[in-house]
Amino acid sequence: MAKLESVIGLEIHAELKTATKIFCGCKNSFGEAPNSQICPVCMGLPGTLPRLNSKVCDFAVKMGLALNCKINNISRMDRKNYFYPDLPKAYQISQSDVPICGNGSLDILVKDQIRKIGITRIHIEEDAGKLIHDDEYSGTLCDFNRCGVPLIEIVTAPDIKSSDEARIFLESIRSILRYIGISDCKMQEGSIRCDVNVSVHEKGTPLGTRCELKNVNSFSAAVRGIEYEIIRQTELIEKNLSVERETRRWDDKKGISILMRNKENARDYRFFPEPDLGAIVISEEKVNSLRAEIPELPNKKVIRYVYEYGLNYSEAFLIADNHDKAELFEKCIEKGECSPKSAANRIVGEITKYMNDTGKSISETMLTPKELSKLCVAAENGTISSSAAKTVLAELIINGGNTDKIIEKLGLAQNSDDNYLCRLADDVISANQKSVDDFKNGKSNAFGHLIGQAMKISKGKADPKKIKDIILKKLKMEE
């Protein structure tokens, strides 16, 4: 049997970080005391009516522009009807027929290949409340603070071909959401969620039946879920059984998916246009002004960093993912003085460590792109050793200042002068004949001793790499 290809589509829900909820003026914030952030509208009291928050539309359009989507100048809201205790009106106001954004795409870098993933649509909708199961109470506790929090739903075309691609795609979406400032994507707060659709088929044949996985609570869970589904469906097909159209629940602890709903008890949402709301009109001027607010996006940066600057994917992603780091990196290498690799190493290394340890952002440190560039240059041309560079960097981060002055003040300039180093090597060799003999007799640590002596005499200023090479050459020549 021919090898089966997997076909994956994703539905990503992200909470938007507007000040207020989508249909009422309640504060949009996480972690408040139960039912303290509600009003008659979001708790579904009879007689109440929704009012759409303009910022939600702006944010959705921005995401659409970031994903190269067609922006629908006229769209409308629809009701999605079903019963569940976290849904106070027993319908969710969402968008069915005419979403705010249509077709688009996102380029991601997968194993050095640029893959274009199609976006089918982006629409806006309201979030439901939270159901809590408490040990002391035998039923379900309902908290409606989250009811009415604005969501965008991003639906991809079934273009994703592996779990790895899915992970990269999800990380890119998250990057973009943060970059354009519309969501903070804290998975642990539930502000970004994902449903996964998986099917398998033989290449060249029609697409297989897809299954939907829900309750996928992290990107790594998405990877595990996809891999499990591929195996499950493949096994069915190999046994000549058919894959049924199902909605399944992913249990990450057990590593399995469980049937939730099949075709027979599939929900009938009875969509119809929301009669309490009018049409959403977005003018071309509005679209253009929102477009102007979008910076170069992280996924594009990643591709650029890898192809133009020779960074590897993970370095590129780490830098591009954070707007501050990307800015620092780009400004630093702007003049072409220091090498991108060198700047990247330091950003990904010490600077990120400092940020993680102290919780500070780059703008809260004293480091400037100009000084970082100078530091990289000094390390590259041997003016200072790499360990000295670490010291200088720490100083620049905490206290700022001028790289050259710091090197001078701390006396860190190392000596890379060939003549000086040759004389030093000669001195060390003649003063340590025993070590030389030991080395010639096969004792390799004797070599280390010679280097140590050279560093001691030069008070640590000798360029360690160069002195090593020179001493070694001289020892070999003596033979």
Partner 1 sequence: MMLCDYTAFELAYMLRKKQCSAMEIYSDTLQRAKEMQTITNAYISFNDEAFKTAEKIDIMIAEGKDFPLIAGIPIAVKDNISTKGLRTTCASKMLCNYIPPYDACVIEKLKKAGAVIIGKSNMDEFAIGSASDTGYFGAVHNPINYYNSAGGSSGGSAASVSSGGAVLAIGSDTGGSVRQPASLCGVVGFCPSYGTVSRYGLIAFASSLDRIGSIGRTVKDTYLLHNIINGSDPKDVTTSDIFYPFNLNTGLSGIRIGIIKELMESYADDDVKSSVMDAIRLMEKNGSIIKEISISNIRSAVNAYYIISSAEASSNLARFDGIRYGYRAPKCENLSELYKKSRSEGFGEEVKRRIMLGTFVLSEGFCDDYYKRAVSLRSRLCSEFNEAFKQCDVVAAPVYPKAGIKLGVKATLTEVYSADIFTVPSSIAGLPAISVPCGMTRDNLPVGLQLIGNRLCDKIVFDVAYWYELIRGGIYGET
Partner 2 sequence: MCGIIVLIYIKEYIMEINVRKIAELAALEIDKDNFSDFEAQFKDIINMVSELPEYGKFDVFPEPMKLREDVIENNNISQNDLLSNAHEIVNNYFTAPKTVEYL
Residue appearing with tokens 């690799």:
341
Q: Which of 43, 61, 109, 306 binds partner 1 (CB under 8 A)?
A: 43
- For position 317 contacting partner 1 by CB under 8 A, the verdict is no
Question: Which residues contact residue 275 at a Cβ distance below 8 angstroms, ignoring those fewer than 6 apart?
Answer: none
Residue 247 CA to residue 270 CA, distance in Å, equals 18
Instruction: Out of 279, 366, 394, 431, point to the residue binding partner 2 (CB under 8 A).
Output: 279
Whole-Å CA distances, 283 to 103, 292, 371, 372: 18, 15, 45, 44
Residue 187 touching partner 2 (CB under 8 A): no
Site string for partner 2, 223-252 (x = CB under 8 A): --------------------------x---
Considering only 273, 382, 401, 460, the residue that binds partner 2 (CB under 8 A) is: 273
What is the SS3 assignment for 208? coil
270 binds partner 1 (CB under 8 A): yes
- Should residue 281 be labelled a site residue for partner 2 when binding is judged by CB under 8 A? yes
Instruction: Measure the N-to-C terminal CA separation of the chain; round to a whole number of Å.
Output: 66
Measure the CA–CA gap between 302 and 319, rounded to whole angstroms.
8
Q: Select the residue interacting with partner 2 from 71, 149, 192, 280 (CB under 8 A).
A: 280
SS3 278: coil
Query: Does 142 engage in binding with partner 1 (CB under 8 A)?
Result: yes
State yes or no: residue 266 binds partner 2 (CB under 8 A): no
Within 10 angstroms of residue 311's Cβ, the number of other Cβ atoms is 24
- Contact with partner 1 (CB under 8 A) among 1, 31, 47, 253: 47
Among partner 2, partner 1, none, residue 272 binds (CB under 5-8 Å by kind): partner 1
Q: How far is the CB of 67 from partner 2 (least distance, A)?
A: 22
On whether the CB atoms of residues 267 and 239 are closer than 8 A, the answer is no
Minimum Å gap between C-beta 9 and partner 1 is: 22
Helix ranges (H only) for 213-253 are 219-238
Q: Which of 5, 13, 30, 85 binds partner 2 (CB under 8 A)?
A: 85
Q: Which of 132, 207, 266, 366 binds partner 2 (CB under 8 A)?
A: 132
Rg (alpha carbons) of the chain, rounded to whole number: 30
Choose the contact partner of 89 out of partner 1, partner 2, none; CB within 5 to 8 A by kind.
Answer: partner 1
Q: Are 185 and 195 in contact (CB under 8 A)?
A: no
* Alpha-carbon span 470 to 315, nearest angstrom: 34
**Burial (0-12, 13-18, 19+ Cβ within 10 Å), 315:** buried
**Are residues 303 and 278 in contact, defined by beta-carbon separation less than 8 angstroms?**
no
Instruction: In whole angstroms, give the CA distance from residue 101 to residue 98.
Output: 8
Number of residues that bind partner 2 (CB under 8 A): 55
CA angle (370 as vertex; 367, 371 as ends), nearest 5:
55
* 401 belongs to the binding site for partner 1 (CB under 8 A): no
49 makes contact with partner 1 (CB under 8 A) = yes
Residue 404 host element (H or E): helix 403-409
Stretch touching partner 2 by CB under 8 A, among 2-10, 80-88, 110-118, 352-360: 80-88
Stretch that binds partner 2, among 116-124, 132-140, 351-359, 462-470 (CB under 8 A): 132-140
Number of residues in contact with partner 1 under rule CB under 8 A:
30
- Residue 315 near which of partner 1, partner 2, none (CB within 5-8 Å, type-dependent): none
Give the Cα separation of 124 and 129 in Å (integer). 17
Residues in the chain: 479
CA–CA gap between residue 447 and residue 453 (Å, rounded): 10
The answer to whether the beta carbons of residues 175 and 323 sit under 8 Å apart is no
Q: Are 264 and 48 in contact (CB under 8 A)?
A: no
In this chain, which stretch among 164-172, 186-194, 219-227, 268-276 interacts with partner 1, using CB under 8 A?
Answer: 268-276
Please, what is the minimum distance in Å from the beta carbon of residue 90 to partner 1? 3
Q: Which of 5, 20, 48, 249 lies at the binding interface for partner 1 (CB under 8 A)? A: 48
CB closer to partner 2 out of 20 and 402: 20
Nearest 5°: CA angle at 444, between 439 and 450?
Answer: 65
By CB under 8 A, is residue 217 in contact with partner 1? no
Would you count residue 25 as binding partner 2 (CB under 8 A)? yes
Binding partner 2 (rule: CB under 8 A), the pick from 31, 47, 112, 133 is: 133
Q: Rule CB under 8 A: say whether 79 interacts with partner 1.
A: yes
Tokens matching residue 200: 């398998």
With respect to partner 2, which residue has the nearer C-beta, 280 or 344? 280
Residue 71, strand partner residues = 101
Q: Which residues bind partner 2 (CB under 8 A)?
A: 18-20, 24-27, 33-36, 38-40, 43, 45, 51-57, 74, 76, 83-85, 97-98, 131-133, 137-144, 214-215, 249, 260-261, 268, 270, 273, 275, 277-281
Q: Which residues bind partner 1 (CB under 8 A)?
A: 40, 43-52, 79, 81, 83, 85, 88-91, 140, 142, 144, 268, 270-272, 275-278
